[in-house]
Amino acid sequence: MEIPVFLASDEHYHPSDKYRNSSYIQNMQEYLQLYQESIEHPEQFWNRIADELRFLDRKSTVWSGSMPDFSFFPESLLNVCDNCVDRHAENPAFRNKVALFWEGEPGDKDCLTYAMLQQQVSKFANVLRSLGLQPGDVVSVYMQNLLETYVVLLACLRIGVVYNTVFAGFSAEALRERIVASKAKLVICSNASYRRGKVLPLKDTVDLALQGVDSVEHVIVFRRIQNLATPMTTGRDLDYEELMKGSSPDCPVTPMEANAPGLLIFTSGTSGKPKGIVHAGGGFLLGTYAYSKYQLDLQPQDIYWNTADIGWLTSHIFVLVGGLAMGATTLLYEGALDYPYTGRLYEMIERYQVNKLFSAPTAYRMLMKHGEDLAKSYQLDHVQLLASVGEPLNPEAWHFLRRVFGQGQAVINNTWGQTETGGTPLASLPGAVAMRPGSCGVPFFGHHLDIVDQNGCSLPDNTPGFLVIRSIFPTLARDIFGDRHRYLQSYFSQLPGAYFTGDSAIRDSFGHYWVLGRVDDVINVSGHRISTMEMESALIQHPAVVEAAVVGEPDSLKGMVPVAFVTLDKAYSVSENIADELKEKIVQDIGAFARPSQILFVDVMPKTRSGKIIRRMLREILQTGDVKGDVTGLEDVDVLETLLEQMQRPL
Ligand code: PRX
């Protein structure tokens, strides 16, 4: 593992006094004291968080068991939707506050106050009940960022139905796989979405995905685009608006045990099959409330925009559950951030007076590419916080955010988290922690992070190793849906009693953590986590392919892009056509975001004596044009020369 050069710098930037004074934690000493207390007496910290939320029956035990078989507030009863919606709708100071602003890509606008949200959510919860859904049943949701998507998800939480959001950019094949794996009884979708001016017919994709799947009893369709012909299957498909018309706005919340499953979200792992990560409702609520409060400093008067798509967990952590539990006013947006003009994001920030933005490094790099003059042509003085998650935030992008977008005064908060951690165990506490450009900040309260070597021994500062979490925390994934064995193997077999993140990291002498990248076969493309194995198994299904290996290549905009090395069957010859077909195969099986940037046809692959492809060498060849590292593991060293020659040949 290499140590990045920028780590050597001791650059620090302090939040302004103005920011600090309005922050929940105002200096480093306060953070350190509270952190120490939260590690030594986690129950004290989490009890205080619980005091700020509403339980329907709160028992005195905060934790029972140990990693991985633990419970958080066992036998206590609460309801997530009650905390995110009703608690505010019943409060005269929040009732008529906007909970969600929404803007569609074509510029249409809408919003819901907390009182309106309570009404809509209750009505839809009654729709779900009338269709016979029971606590614990799974519903698959295939929708883009819409107000109705939030209504649907909160309605599920209201009556204990477990939802699974599937990113609306996934293909029919990927959607089918998730519907089948989660045993969904109901699919809820929008008829279409807008993306870069194009209409994406989501309902058509659902119809394709459901061919041959008989576990799904109904499909509820929200007509995002009214005058679009949308195929409806009689008896199975139901219209959202029609159902809502006849539904009562009175729907009591269902008390749920704090550890009962709340949501299910699939992510890529090291094998070809996506993992259905199960989060407990109660733990997710308490944890995401705490992350949103302390890492984003959310205040009632803030206008906060989180650009994440609802298909990714970031939206659930920082908007749907954490953000709403904090009573925030959040902006949701349907489309591409630079469409129909490059300044769309800045323009919306100016128009809605957004003072806190949460986005991804890819989006920030895109803004940087569009240049400083663009940023300067908008009025952005009110921006106080720019947060980021999903991939490394390179120091160049960090400085652009601070100096240009943030007008030299905004706090930049690069957070680190995973679908499995259900939140961001690493981040800055914006008013308390001095910023180090590119670092992921410091451990969050109650999270004992560590960096270890191959034997699980803790490493000193400034030494790269595996990032692990030694303490239990409320948002840690509780299971992989239907596969407990895989859950235990993937995360808890490497270091007994600790959670293995699959990332490498380094801690500097200031206590900041720097996440360096994955140590497994997962690559991060524009923040989308893709399993190279999943791509390889799609490629292998093409009749022309004998062998395939996918690796990530650094990209200045997307962070990483996938490149596929492919060996063809002798009956086929190398051509542009086959390369296009293979790219298309990935798009069909996974989605357009996973399309390889290049297909490199080779006759040989570097392999170990046991026949495993050494992807590390393919990565090195791509990046440097050579292999300088250790080659002793190779079965046949001559392979490298052949490979290098073949990579030079034109298609
Ligand atoms: O490798 C890390 C990278 O993204 C992975 C998690 O991806 P996903 O589950 O899609 O994220 C959901 C976010 C709630 C991690 O294992 N990653 C995430 N944040 C950072 C990061 N890598 C470097 N720096 C970050 N700030």
The Cβ of residue 637 has, within 10 Å, a number of other Cβ atoms equal to 11
Query: What is the 419 CA–ligand 1 centroid distance (Å)?
Result: 8
* Helices 281-296/42-51 angle, 10° precision: 90
Query: What is the 308 CA–ligand 1 centroid distance (Å)?
Result: 13
Q: Is residue 14 part of a domain?
A: no
Q: Is residue 249 part of a domain?
A: no
Q: What does the alpha-carbon distance between residue 458 and residue 455 come to, in Å, rounded to a whole number?
A: 9
Rounded to an integer, the average pLDDT of 247-268 is 97
Rounded to an integer, the average pLDDT of 523-542 is 88
Query: What is the 29 CA–ligand 1 centroid distance (Å)?
Result: 28
Query: Which DSSP symbol is given to 362?
Result: H
Is residue 438 in contact with ligand 1, taking CB distance under 6 Å? no
Is residue 309 in contact with ligand 1, taking CB distance under 6 Å? no
Q: What does the alpha-carbon distance between residue 272 and residue 530 come to, in Å, rounded to a whole number?
A: 10
Least confident of 315-329, 340-354, 618-632: 618-632
Is residue 418 in contact with ligand 1, taking CB distance under 6 Å? yes
Decide which of 640 and 245 is more confident: 245
432 in Cβ contact with 26 (< 8 Å) = yes
Q: Which of 85, 422, 115 is nearest to 281 (CA)?
A: 422
Query: What is the 60 CA–ligand 1 centroid distance (Å)?
Result: 34
186 strand-pairing partners? 139, 218
The Cβ of residue 55 has, within 10 Å, a number of other Cβ atoms equal to 19
Query: What is the 318 CA–ligand 1 centroid distance (Å)?
Result: 15
- CA-440 nearest atom, ligand 1: 26
Q: Is residue 71 part of a domain?
A: no
Q: What is the pLDDT of residues 42-80, one digit of tens each?
A: 999 999 999 999 999 999 999 999 999 999 999 999 999
Q: Is residue 567 part of a domain?
A: yes
Q: Is residue 582 part of a domain?
A: yes
What pLDDT is recorded for position 625?
Answer: 85
Mutate to test the pocket of ligand 1, among 503, 516, 521, 523 (most ligand atoms within 8 A of CB): 503
- CA-518 nearest atom, ligand 1: 1
Range of the domain at 582: 521-647
Question: Is the Cα torsion angle 519, 308, 421, 267 positive or negative in sign?
Answer: negative
Is residue 254 in contact with ligand 1, taking CB distance under 6 Å? no
What total of structural domains would you count in the chain? 1
Q: What does the alpha-carbon distance between residue 247 and residue 192 come to, in Å, rounded to a whole number?
A: 24
Q: Is residue 559 part of a domain?
A: yes
569 in Cβ contact with 555 (< 8 Å) = no
Q: What does the alpha-carbon distance between residue 131 and residue 111 come to, in Å, rounded to a whole number?
A: 28
Q: Which of 649, 479, 461, 462 is nearest to 573 (CA)?
A: 649
**Domain of 635: which CATH number?**
3.30.300.30
Averaged pLDDT of the chain: 94
Is residue 417 in contact with ligand 1, taking CB distance under 6 Å? yes
Burial level of 378, CB count in 10 A (0-12/13-18/19+)? middle
Q: What is the pLDDT of residues 207-253, one digit of tens each?
A: 999 999 989 999 999 999 999 999 999 999 999 999 999 999 999 99
- pLDDT confidence of 178, banded at 50, 70, 90? very high
- CA-527 nearest atom, ligand 1: 10
Rounded to an integer, the average pLDDT of 551-562 is 91
- R_g over Cα of the chain: 24
Mutate to test the pocket of ligand 1, among 265, 529, 532, 593 (most ligand atoms within 8 A of CB): 529
Query: What is the 527 CA–ligand 1 centroid distance (Å)?
Result: 7
What pLDDT is recorded for position 185?
Answer: 97
Protein residue with its CA nearest to atom 26 in ligand 1: 416
Is residue 450 in contact with ligand 1, taking CB distance under 6 Å? no
Q: What does the alpha-carbon distance between residue 202 and residue 252 come to, in Å, rounded to a whole number?
A: 32
What pLDDT is recorded for position 6?
Answer: 60
What pLDDT is recorded for position 481?
Answer: 97
Is residue 137 in contact with ligand 1, taking CB distance under 6 Å? no
Q: Is residue 31 part of a domain?
A: no
Q: Is residue 112 part of a domain?
A: no
What pLDDT is recorded for position 537?
Answer: 85
What pLDDT is recorded for position 1?
Answer: 54
Mutate to test the pocket of ligand 1, among 314, 418, 428 (most ligand atoms within 8 A of CB): 418
Pair of tokens at residue 577: 């056509």
Is residue 504 in contact with ligand 1, taking CB distance under 6 Å? no
427 strand-pairing partners? 442
311 in Cβ contact with 72 (< 8 Å) = no
Question: Does the pLDDT value for residue 367 go beyond 60?
Answer: yes
Question: Does the pLDDT value for residue 534 go beyond 90?
Answer: no
Least confident of 10-14, 379-383, 489-493: 10-14
